[in-house]
Amino acid sequence: MMRTTIRTAIICAIALCSATAIAKVEVQAVQHKTIGLVLAAKISEDIAPGDYEALISGIRANPGKYAKKVVILDSIGGSVPEAIKMGRLLRETGFDALVPSSSVCQGTCIYLLAAGREKTVRGYVGLHRPYFPSGDSALADLTHKGVRYNPTDYFREMNIPTSLVEEMQAIEPWKMRVLTSEDLARYRLN
């Protein structure tokens, strides 16, 4: 219990210190000693509108055949609609997902993790309900720029138990619950 509390405090401190950051999306081909050519995408900081375009541009700028495609996640979350669009792109283009040991995937970053064909979590994954600028009454109308989105349908597409949405919605936006290894297994996130 104490360990989870400490993890939560660390994650919240990182989120507060980085609240004004925007996502950094980097995509590049790297040569791995044993695997071969790997397309690596790194998504860090706060997911915001425009990040989908940065991701698709990076993928298009690196055409070719790869032994593996991996998205490396170290994000404090951000825009749900943008994360869902990015997640669908990652799934369609065949990326695996990795949360390195020194990294955090919290809030809406979970949509990117869910998109990975294979998922490896060595760092921390934190859940909470998204913050809605219009207040929680905005939950009744999940739209962004006139486009309706549905987290339950998204997780179903990604073969993730939809009970994850219920758990997320039960946690206040300013609180965080760090998933245990058992939670990750139950939600097929590791």
pLDDT of residue 135: 45
- pLDDT (0 to 100) of residue 18: 40
Residues 6+ apart with CB under 8 A from 57: none
Q: What is the pLDDT of residue 143?
A: 53
Residues 138 and 8: their CA atoms lie apart, in Å, by 26
CA quadruple 8, 20, 72, 144: dihedral, nearest 10: 100
Cα angle at 51 between 20 and 136, to 5 degrees? 60
pLDDT in tens, the chain (190 residues): 444 433 433 444 344 344 444 569 999 999 999 999 999 999 999 999 999 999 999 999 999 999 999 999 999 989 999 999 999 999 999 999 999 999 999 999 999 999 999 999 999 999 998 776 554 444 434 554 545 568 999 999 999 999 999 999 898 888 999 999 999 999 999 9
For 149, the 3-state DSSP assignment is coil
Residue in the block written with tokens 């064909």: 117
pLDDT number for residue 130: 79
Gap between the Cα atoms of 108 and 159, Å rounded: 17
Which pTM value belongs to this model? 0.81
Look at residues 117, 110, 121 and name the one whose alpha carbon lies nearest to residue 159.
117
The whole-number pLDDT of residue 173 equals 85
- DSSP-derived 3-state class of residue 113: helix
- Residue 109: exposure state from Cβ atoms within 10 A (0-12, 13-18, ≥19): buried
| Residue that the structure tokens 């044993």 belong to | 34
Question: Residue 26 and residue 99: Cα distance in Å, rounded?
Answer: 15
Task: Give the span between the Cα atoms of 107 and 130, in whole angstroms.
Answer: 7
